[in-house]
Chain A
């Protein structure tokens, strides 16, 4: 039974099936399947789709579809992990969002997808996110990385404000900040004291790996 459930979880991801992912996640909990194994099964699914993408056989709609299916199952399984007093191993926790005043999210969503596929636990706060809200989430989720997206020169300044606010809270050295988005450059990142910058979503994954290397 347990094997069938794990197979089905993986299948739900590679078939982009949110409904099946939710259903099999519930089933896994009911049948007492080890939740860590359930996460592994989902991860295997998403890796397979990720490989297909890298090889140019699958495209963004499939990639995002798979990530969505995984997202549908995760809350149920995470709840069970917590209940059992266990801890899920991830590549790292990343709080992500588009800064205040800015509602561009196409690029940010891609960054979230690529990071999820790479095994990071991504907490996406959405768009138009104020500095205080980022800080709250960083504290709450004990984030390793704070990732900020800004598409306009004007809202680039919100990235600066967020970093300043981290300093004020005294947690700037507890979390690494990476930034990106159309209007951002390496020079700007250096200027505002961000830890890392990359012009692409694929690059964001490399940055995240580097920043979480212990």
Chain B
């Protein structure tokens, strides 16, 4: 039961065991010596009671090593995210790799490929496309804004759309407390979307992010403690140093969570981005980020805590060679090193734009990566020793054998979007590119895929919660 994703049989290491330990010990030293700021009265109290050294005036918490390691052991090895029905459940953790959508502000106009603010219909179309695609296992919402939707309503609004038009489970977020409405809706539909709470580097948790984490914990939903470092700006410029700092930020969140509710599900987010020292711009598609994520995967495999990555995206503004190259490299190394969720499907420009046609192309990318991870299937039948002996040298051939007829479909991946025709056929077919195929697929999905997972009662109930949220923020405006 459930959506399975891919199994990474032998994850790739990019650090030595010794290096993993040095990063870990470095982290423990930073946590014990400098500590992490929590702008949150209750969190300070909880952590003080748990055995941390708390400086209330500076709101600074120093963590004894034993407590950090104890908290790590309380994290479950797998986290089950519930879909609309059990066949859509996703078990996040080793040895599985799953794919999720990216999240961004805007969409791309399908004709001009220019950036534009999404409409509610764009949200619905994106939710449907993501739900349809076989290699997308989790929704991370569609866009972080929509024409005509009040800014503060966006997280509940986009979740409202996801559950109305999709069957797969979600990971979610919140800003300034708006997650409370989303949590209520999830309770109505019987899902447990994991909640993203992000530390502000260096070493600082803001009030609303701790509130957010506590809201999700309170609901009994898994949490996604994360951070987002810009190397040389908000963290050391070196990847090793950035890893040490990032670990300290995430682990401090885990200590809080496991103290509040021991055993609460945790999926950690790594995100180290190189800042380009010529301009200060953050390079989402930089290879440094790919390497950092690979190292992060290895460290958290060692801790045995599920992990994910978001904005596995590109700096390119359109689906071009740069876009394909940056995403392919990132998806592949993340999968090989054991990321449990790669949240990058649909991403084009940083976390500024996502596009459903890019999601369709990424689906193809994810399929190919899945095939690569599966690797070589070795057994008596596939080794084909008897067959080779039987066919022998030329004029022997394999095309007419039972073996080929039976096994070619499981051995060969038939691309859905790529061109493999001869030149004249390609010209005759209108010189289509993968983008053309993706656009055709998009039209087909929108026209034919219409799941309606919710009963009328439930739809009504979540719409009422949405309305409540709208009224709440409207009254705050005036």
Tell me if B232 and A61 are in contact (CB < 8 A). yes
Query: In whole Å, how far is A128's beta carbon from the nearest beta carbon of chain B?
Result: 8
Q: Which of B87-115 contact A (CB under 8 A)?
A: 105
Complex contacts, A60 vs chain B, CB 8 Å? 277-280
Complex contacts, A56 vs chain B, CB 8 Å? 278
Assembly CA distance A201 to B278 (angstroms) = 12
Secondary structure class of chain A's binding surface, majority of residues: helix
Query: In whole Å, how far is B239's beta carbon from the nearest beta carbon of chain A?
Result: 17
Tell me if A59 and B151 are in contact (CB < 8 A). no
Contact with B along A39-71 (1 / 0, CB 8 A): 000000000000000001001110000000000
Tell me if B234 and A59 are in contact (CB < 8 A). no
Tell me if A110 and B280 are in contact (CB < 8 A). yes
- Closest A residue to B282 by beta carbon equals A106
Q: Which of B145, B278, B352 contacts A153 (CB 8 A)?
A: B145
Interface flag for A107 (CB, 8 Å): yes
Assembly CA distance A182 to B280 (angstroms) = 13
Query: In whole Å, how far is A53's beta carbon from the nearest beta carbon of chain B?
Result: 9
Q: Which of A6-46 contact B (CB under 8 A)?
A: none
Tell me if B152 and A106 are in contact (CB < 8 A). no
Q: Which of A99-115 contact B (CB under 8 A)?
A: 101, 103, 106-107, 110
Assembly CA distance A154 to B175 (angstroms) = 9
Complex contacts, B240 vs chain A, CB 8 Å? none
Q: Which of A154, A183, A201 contacts B280 (CB 8 A)?
A: A201
Tell me if B151 and A154 are in contact (CB < 8 A). yes
Query: In whole Å, how far is B226's beta carbon from the nearest beta carbon of chain A?
Result: 15
Tell me if A59 and B278 are in contact (CB < 8 A). yes
Contact with B along A144-159 (1 / 0, CB 8 A): 0000000011100100
- Closest B residue to A53 by beta carbon equals B278
- Closest B residue to A110 by beta carbon equals B280
Assembly CA distance A182 to B352 (angstroms) = 9
Complex contacts, A182 vs chain B, CB 8 Å? 352
Interface flag for B176 (CB, 8 Å): yes
Tell me if A59 and B277 are in contact (CB < 8 A). yes
Query: In whole Å, how far is B5's beta carbon from the nearest beta carbon of chain A?
Result: 32
Complex contacts, B151 vs chain A, CB 8 Å? 152-154, 157
Complex contacts, B105 vs chain A, CB 8 Å? 153, 183
Tell me if A154 and B233 are in contact (CB < 8 A). no
Q: Which of B144, B275, B277 contacts A106 (CB 8 A)?
A: B275
Q: Which of B229-279 contact A (CB under 8 A)?
A: 230, 232-234, 275, 277-279
Total residues of chain A contacting the partner, CB 8 A: 16
Assembly CA distance A94 to B126 (angstroms) = 44
Interface flag for B322 (CB, 8 Å): no
- Closest B residue to A107 by beta carbon equals B280
Secondary structure class of chain B's binding surface, majority of residues: loop
Query: In whole Å, how far is B82's beta carbon from the nearest beta carbon of chain A?
Result: 30
- Closest B residue to A60 by beta carbon equals B277
A103-B200, A106-B233 given as contacts; is B206 within 8 A of A61 (CB)? no
Tell me if A154 and B277 are in contact (CB < 8 A). no
Contact with B along A83-97 (1 / 0, CB 8 A): 000000000000000
Complex contacts, A61 vs chain B, CB 8 Å? 232, 277
Complex contacts, A110 vs chain B, CB 8 Å? 280
- Closest A residue to B234 by beta carbon equals A106
Assembly CA distance A103 to B39 (angstroms) = 13
Tell me if B206 and A103 are in contact (CB < 8 A). yes
Assembly CA distance A152 to B155 (angstroms) = 14
Q: Which of A141-190 contact B (CB under 8 A)?
A: 152-154, 157, 182-183
Complex contacts, A153 vs chain B, CB 8 Å? 105, 144-145, 151
A154-B175, A154-B176 given as contacts; is B280 within 8 A of A106 (CB)? yes
Q: Which of A101, A106, A152, A201 contacts B230 (CB 8 A)?
A: A106
Assembly CA distance A101 to B476 (angstroms) = 15
Contact with A along B136-165 (1 / 0, CB 8 A): 000000001100000110000000000000
Complex contacts, A201 vs chain B, CB 8 Å? 280
Tell me if B176 and A101 are in contact (CB < 8 A). yes
Assembly CA distance A154 to B280 (angstroms) = 23
Assembly CA distance A101 to B175 (angstroms) = 10
Query: In whole Å, how far is B313's beta carbon from the nearest beta carbon of chain A?
Result: 15
Complex contacts, B279 vs chain A, CB 8 Å? 60
Complex contacts, A101 vs chain B, CB 8 Å? 176
Assembly CA distance A154 to B234 (angstroms) = 23
Query: In whole Å, how far is A143's beta carbon from the nearest beta carbon of chain B?
Result: 24
Complex contacts, B152 vs chain A, CB 8 Å? 154
Assembly CA distance A56 to B277 (angstroms) = 11
Complex contacts, B233 vs chain A, CB 8 Å? 106
Enumerate the 5 nearest inter-chain pairs by beta-carbon distance, A residue then B residue, closest first. Answer: A59-B277, A154-B151, A110-B280, A153-B151, A60-B277
Q: List 15 A-B contacts (CB under 8 A).
A: A56-B278, A60-B278, A60-B280, A103-B200, A106-B230, A106-B233, A106-B275, A106-B282, A107-B280, A110-B280, A153-B144, A153-B145, A153-B151, A157-B151, A201-B280
List the interface of chain B (C-beta within 8 A of A). Answer: 105, 144-145, 151-152, 175-176, 200, 206, 230, 232-234, 275, 277-280, 282, 352
List the interface of chain A (C-beta within 8 A of B). Answer: 56, 59-61, 101, 103, 106-107, 110, 152-154, 157, 182-183, 201
New contact pairs (8) apart from A110-B280, A152-B151, A153-B105, CB-CB < 8 Å? A60-B280, A61-B277, A103-B206, A153-B145, A154-B151, A154-B176, A157-B151, A183-B105
